[in-house]
Amino acid sequence: MDGREKSDELFIAKKEIIFQNQEKEKLAVELIIASKELAFQNQEKENRAAELIIANKELAFQNEEKENRVAEHIIANKELAFQNEEKKKRSVELIDSNKEVGELEKRVKERTEDLESFSYSVSHDLRTPLRAINGYAKMLGEDYGTVLDTEGKRLLGEVRNNAKKMGVLIDDLLTFSRLGRKGITKSNVDMNKLIETVLSEINQSTTHNAEIKFSNLLPAVADNNLLQQVITNLLSNAIKYSSKKENPLIEIKSVQKNDELTYSVSDNGTGFDMQYVNKLFGVFQRLHSDEEFSGTGVGLAIVQRIIHKHDGKVWAEGKEGQGATFFFSLPEIAKTE
């Protein structure tokens, strides 16, 4: 082999080497790119893994929440079931007690009706013999008055007085029993006018020197006739029990508080001992003898019955020898009723 052949071979070899180097470089670059790609993909995988972990945690949390809620639901359902059971028990109890109340009401109604028809016939049938006692005593006086001496006439007078008293008693009792049967019809009542009416009626049948004070009384919503009866009884009492004082003074007042209208009638008369206050409103209950102050003991019972029918209250305050005040209150009702 000659020189030329050798240099040609070298040249080819160099080219070959250059090419191979070039190839290597190319490969190296590709490797770098591939490595970068790999690194990026690894990063992505890690990112996703991290996201998955977070998502799993979230899921776990949500599951826990769901479980909690289910547990709460179970408890709430148990509570509901218990409450339903209780409600059932209570409604059974209510039905039972309603039945009892119904029966009681029926019995009370029957009793009341019995009592009312009883007191009605007693009052009615008592009047007939009373009229005879009174009438015959009068006839005796008219026909034989000249034959009777003073004592005889006095005795006859006692018979007549007592018959008269019993007549009043029966009338009061009738009024009282009538109240049980009658319903009430409410309207707006001008108390100032009502008191003037009552006073003019009282003044026609009774002479008294009491000073009676009242002004600008609040209007009431009540049964006019029944309220007039209340005022008549309270004012008659005030006049009667202050009649022995030198300057009898009677005051009528009204106040409004806590949805209640309260009226009071006070006098400076004989008063009463507070330890007997609970006897004042009882039927036939009296704190004075007939000689001191005449009366049947029904007036205040009538007052109480009327006020109770209006869902109101009655009470009294007093001191022996220093006057008395009688109060009654009415619940405040819409004036449009």
What residues make contact with another protein under the rule CB under 8 A?
120, 123-125, 127-132, 134-139, 163-164, 166-167, 170, 174, 178
Which three-class secondary structure state does DSSP give residue 244?
coil
Q: How near is the Cβ of 181 to another protein at its closest, in Å?
A: 9
Q: How near is the Cβ of 130 to another protein at its closest, in Å?
A: 5
Q: Is 330 left (phi over 0), alpha (psi -120 to 50) or beta?
A: beta
Task: Return the closest-CA partner of residue 329 out of 311, 309, 313, 317.
Answer: 313
Residues 283 and 175: their CA atoms lie apart, in Å, by 12
**Which residue is it, tokens 């108390």?**
191
Q: Which is nearer to another protein, 163 or 217 (CB)?
A: 163
- Sorted by sequence, the CB contacts under 8 Å of residue 249 that are 6+ apart come out as 210, 211, 213, 242, 267, 268
Q: Which is nearer to another protein, 162 or 192 (CB)?
A: 162
Q: How near is the Cβ of 127 to another protein at its closest, in Å?
A: 5
Q: Which is nearer to another protein, 164 or 244 (CB)?
A: 164
Q: How near is the Cβ of 164 to another protein at its closest, in Å?
A: 7
Q: How near is the Cβ of 112 to another protein at its closest, in Å?
A: 16
Q: Which is nearer to another protein, 56 or 161 (CB)?
A: 161
Could you tell me where the DSSP H helices lie in the chain? 3-144, 150-181, 191-205, 224-241, 299-309
Q: Which is nearer to another protein, 162 or 325 (CB)?
A: 162
Residue 325's Cβ-count burial label (10 Å; 0-12, 13-18, 19+) is middle
Q: Which is nearer to another protein, 128 or 200 (CB)?
A: 128
Q: How near is the Cβ of 191 to another protein at its closest, in Å?
A: 28
Q: Following DSSP, what letter does each residue of 77-112 receive, concatenated?
A: HHHHHHHHHHHHHHHHHHHHHHHHHHHHHHHHHHHH
